[in-house]
A = this chain, B = another copy of it.
Amino acid sequence: MEKTFYFTGGKTPPETFPTDALALISQKAIKKIGGAFAFYPRQHEYSSYSDLGYKGLREVVSLRYKRREGVALPIDNIVVTSGSMQAIELVGRALLKPGDIIITEELTYYGSLEFFRYLKLNVIGIPVDDKRGMEIDILEDTLKCFDRLNLKPKIIYTIPNHHNPTGAIMTEKRRKRLLDLAYSYNIPIFEDDCYGDIDFYKDRKPRSINTLDDEGNVLFVGSFSKILGPGIRLGYLYAKDNYLNTILSHRWDLGTSVLASIIVAEYLKEKMWDHLEKHIKVIKRKMDITLKALGEYAGEYTKCTPPRGGLFIWVKITQNIDMEKLSLYAERRNVKYDEGKLFHYRERELKALRLSYAHIPDEEIPIGIKRLSEAIREAII
C-alpha cells in the first residue's frame, strides 16, 4: 500500500522524544519511591490533597510557570491530569450543565468543541484575528447582548497562545480587556495554554491571563504532551480554592499514574529547558519546510500567517473551491489534513484547513504538500 501523509492531530517530532535520557532516568525515578507505589496518588507525601497527583510533577509545573511568568503556582492548587484534555473534561463536568452558554473563539480546538457538544452546551464563538487573537470588541458586544436578554454565559474558554488552529497570540491589551469584561460580567475564564511552551522566537509573549488576573477568576490548563509526546498523557490544571474542590469531586479515576508522573518529573526537573530548546528548533525547522513548500506549490491560491509557535499552520484558500471535492482529491493522493470546519464552533464550511507537520519526517513534508497542492488546484472552481 502506498504511503499516506497524515498532516493531522497535535503530534510532536518523534526524533526529539528524549528516549535515552528518559530510559536512563526511569530507573532512578522508580527506585526513588519504590514501595510507595503501593499507595494511591492521593496518599502520604506523594500528594497533600486528594487526587491532585504526584507532588514532584506538580513542583515541575510550578517551576515552569515561575520561569515563564515570574511567579510560582501554588503546588496545592495544581492537579495532574491524563493530558490537558482530562483537565478540560473535569472543568466541563464540574462547572457546566446542558444548555449552559460557553463562549469560545469562533475557531478553536475540535476536541474541546466535541466535548462541549457532548455536554450539550450552547457554544458561542467570537471571531479571532490571525495575529492578535480573540476580537474583544465583538466579545464586549456579545456580552452586552446576553446581559440585555438576561442570559449569563457560564465560562469563557480561550487558547491565547499559539491559538489552535490559527496560531494567533492574544495581545496583552486584549488579555487585559478580556479580564476586565470577565470581571464586570462575573464570568470565569478558562485559559487553555496547551501550546504555550512551543515558542519559535525568544521575544517575550504577553503574560498569561492567569498571571494578569488578581481576582482568582481564571482556570489554567497546560500540558506535558506537547513538550514530550502525547503518548505520555500528562497535563495539568491550576484552579484556585474556590473551584478546586468542586472540580475534584467530578474526578473518579483516583488520580493520574504516579509511574508515568515520576519518570516525567525526574526528567523535566533537570532537563526541561535544554530539551525544549532542541524540541522547538526541530518543530520550527519543519514549519519552515512546510511554509516553503506551501509557497512553492500552492502560493497562488493559499495564504497563511506564519505562526510564532505551536504545532499547526492554518491555511486559507484564496480562490473559490469545493471543499468536499478537495477532501476527495486529497484522499486519492493519500494526503490527510484537518478540515477547517472541524474548528468552527458551528461546523461552518470554511475555505481553510489545518496542517500538522511536527511529526512528519523533513524529507516527506514537501512531497505531501505538493500532493495536497495538486488536490487544491484540482478542487478550485
Contact = CB atoms under 8 A, between A and B. Distances in A.
Interface of A: 9, 11-15, 17, 19-20, 22-24, 26-28, 30-31, 33-41, 43, 46, 81-83, 85-86, 88-89, 111, 115, 118, 228-234, 249, 252-260, 263-264, 359
Nearest first, the 10 closest Cβ-Cβ pairs linking A and B are A14-B35, A37-B229, A37-B231, A26-B26, A19-B34, A231-B258, A82-B253, A23-B30, A89-B252, A38-B229
A253 B37 contact: no
Contact of A233 (B36, B41, B229): B41
* Number of identical monomers bound together in the oligomeric complex: 2
Contacts of A234: 257
A81 B256 CA distance: 11
A237 to B, nearest CB: 13
Contact of A13 (B22, B38, B259): B38
A22 B30 contact: yes
9 contacts: A11-B40, A15-B35, A19-B31, A26-B26, A41-B231, A83-B253, A111-B254, A232-B259, A233-B255
Contacts of A232: 37, 257-259
Contact of A231 (B22, B36, B115, B249): B36
A232 to B, nearest CB: 5
B38 A359 contact: yes
A234 to B, nearest CB: 7
B30 A14 contact: no
A257 B254 contact: no
Pick from A34, A36, A231, A256 the residue with the most CB of B within 10 Å.
A231
Contacts of A35: 13-15, 17, 19, 229
Contact of A254 (B13, B85, B228, B229): B85
Contacts of A27: 23-24, 26-27
Given A19-B31, A30-B23, A35-B15, A264 B259 contact: yes
